[in-house]
Structure 1
């Protein structure tokens, strides 16, 4: 346990220098684009900052963030590896047999999947990433893969 705490302290200090903060409406986003983590570690990192992994649960939220990515040059770039892929808080819940937002526990009522996704290729693609092949589009993938990520929280919380 102590080893895990020390590891997250080191990661947090590295990531603190390698992120972009963005306020859209009443939500603050921390875009971590220089360090990649597994999905579970990204969830833990956000939690350590009293934030959650990004939940693109409405078209409006997805459009605002996609527009921001386009404006700063995070555009569709084929054959560049996974430098433009980010975790979302979406994950397949085996007990419920459906995708849910880890941040809220709610099932998906809005989706932005790539065509023919999710496909659960190899039977173990349980986590949802965005930006695979196309900015803002979702793909199901293995949770152990290393991806950039976005943390978020309500700015209203800071005002109270």
Structure 2
């Protein structure tokens, strides 16, 4: 199945690059805000990987605040009447072996969090992926990985 999906992911990556998704530098990382495509969490991971990138990890207060400020400045704010257009996947995922949330892209356990009040709640017993922007810019929510969301890819910028 993965073999049949690869051409689709490559096509989507090409389309996204042509549509000029928003790119921003955050410290030593370049972020690609993919807002032309919505994918389930595993698809977003693969999409980023196809571009030699990973899903964004807002693993420090500074990184979370910077991306939140950026979203606010460019008008990517939650608007309840629009639905989930302003919710983005992060690389956060519940690791069932460790019984903790980790940043999938870097393998680290959460040492900083910015959960929405009352979260994570694992509402239906299957909310293992972390999205940001649900109800409030920069706040995190645990949700089902099969939901379709926009996402943010990142990679380190090479320095001389």
TM-score range, shorter chain: over 0.9
Find out whether 1:90 has 2:70 as its counterpart.
no
Alignment partner, residue 76 of structure 2: 74
Structure 1 residue ranges without an equivalent (≥5): none
- Write the distance in 2 (CA, Å) between the matches of 1:144 and 1:42: 11
Q: C-alpha distance in 2, partners of 1:107/1:26?
A: 21
- Post-superposition, which runs of at least 4 consecutive aligned residues in structure 1 deviate over 2 A? none
Give the CA RMSD over aligned residues.
1.2
Moved more, 16-25 or 117-126: 16-25
Q: Secondary structure at the match of 1:60?
A: helix
Q: Aligned-pair distance for 1:8?
A: 1.3
Using the TM superposition, give the Cα deviation of residue 27 of structure 1 relative to its aligned residue in structure 2, in angstroms.
1.1
Cross-structure match for 2:109? 107
Q: SS of the counterpart of 1:68? A: helix
Query: 2:154 is matched with which residue?
Result: 152
In the other structure, the counterpart of 1:116 is: 118
Q: Which moved more, 1:132-141 or 1:67-76?
A: 67-76
Q: Name stretches of at least 5 consecutive residues in structure 2 with no aligned partner.
A: none
Distance in 1 separating the partners of 2:36 and 2:115: 25
2:27 and 2:93 map into 1 onto residues whose CA distance is 26
Matches within 5 A, 1:1-160: 1-18=2-19, 19-155=21-157, 158-159=158-159
| Number of residue pairs matched by the alignment | 158
SS at 1:62's partner residue? Answer: helix
TM-score when normalising by structure 1:
0.94
Matches of 1:9 and 1:51, distance apart in 2: 13
